[in-house]
């Protein structure tokens, strides 16, 4: 049985996955981390939790926060980010520019890539840097 909470996919297998597939998974990973952060910090009432979550997971917010970690990414992580960012989006939400949406997709691809390798320490390190000052 596969343990989906403790994955350790080798890098060669990861190369066969699409950037959008990584971003799809990374979107969920990032949202779970934001929801956990909100629950632990208790800053929002229950009725406002969804609104607070959306504030952090929306493409413009992700793109803005990405600048906090750009300089601390390894070369390999930067490559994964660029691969996700450079994937042609099928549609762009009205609330985001094309550049914001592509940056958010790159960030999500990076989070999906790290998650599939079981690199939770690095995910936590990057997420903490993203949330610094909140």
DSSP 8-state symbol, 132:
T
> How would you label 67-105 residue by residue, b for 16+ Cβ within 10 Å and e otherwise?
eebeeebeeebeebbebbbebeeeeeeeebeeebbbbbb
Give me the pLDDT at residue 39, please: 87
C-alpha angle 54-116-106 in degrees, rounded to nearest 5? 50
Question: Which residues are CB-neighbours of 123 under 8 A, at least 6 positions away?
Answer: 29, 33, 111, 114, 115
80 within some domain: yes
Give me the pLDDT at residue 94, please: 81
44 within some domain: yes
Spell out the per-residue pLDDT of the chain, length 134, in tens: 888 888 888 888 888 899 999 999 999 999 999 999 998 887 667 778 888 898 999 999 999 999 999 999 999 999 999 999 998 777 777 888 889 999 999 999 999 999 999 999 999 999 999 998 87
Give me the pLDDT at residue 41, please: 84
Give me the pLDDT at residue 88, please: 76
111 within some domain: yes
Domain count within the chain: 1
16 within some domain: no
48 within some domain: yes
DSSP letters spanning 78-120: HHHHHHHHTSPPS---TTS-HHHHHHHHHHHHHHHHHHHTT-H
Residue 25 is part of a domain; what is its CATH number?
1.10.1520.10
Q: How many CA atoms, within 13 angstroms, populate the side-chain half-sphere of residue 66?
A: 26
8 within some domain: no
Residue pointed to by tokens 């599939």: 116
112 within some domain: yes
Provide the domain limits for residue 75. Answer: 21-131
4 within some domain: no
Q: Could you list the active site residues?
A: 27
Q: What is the dihedral of CA 76, 63, 34, 26, to 10 degrees?
A: -40
- pTM comes to 0.92
């Amino acid at each position: 049985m596969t343990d989906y909470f403790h994955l350790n996919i080798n890098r060669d297998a990861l190369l066969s996955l699409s950037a959008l597939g990584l971003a799809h998974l990374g979107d969920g990973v990032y949202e779970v981390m934001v929801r956990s952060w909100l629950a632990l910090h208790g800053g929002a009432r229950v009725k406002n939790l969804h609104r607070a979550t959306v504030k952090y997971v929306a493409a413009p917010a992700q793109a803005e926060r990405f600048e906090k970690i750009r300089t601390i990414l390894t070369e390999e992580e930067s490559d994964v980010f660029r691969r996700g960012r450079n994937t042609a989006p099928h549609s762009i939400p009205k609330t985001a520019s094309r550049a914001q949406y592509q940056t958010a997709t790159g960030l999500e691809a990076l989070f999906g890539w790290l998650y599939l390798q079981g690199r939770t320490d690095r995910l936590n390190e990057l997420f903490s840097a993203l949330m610094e000052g909140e």
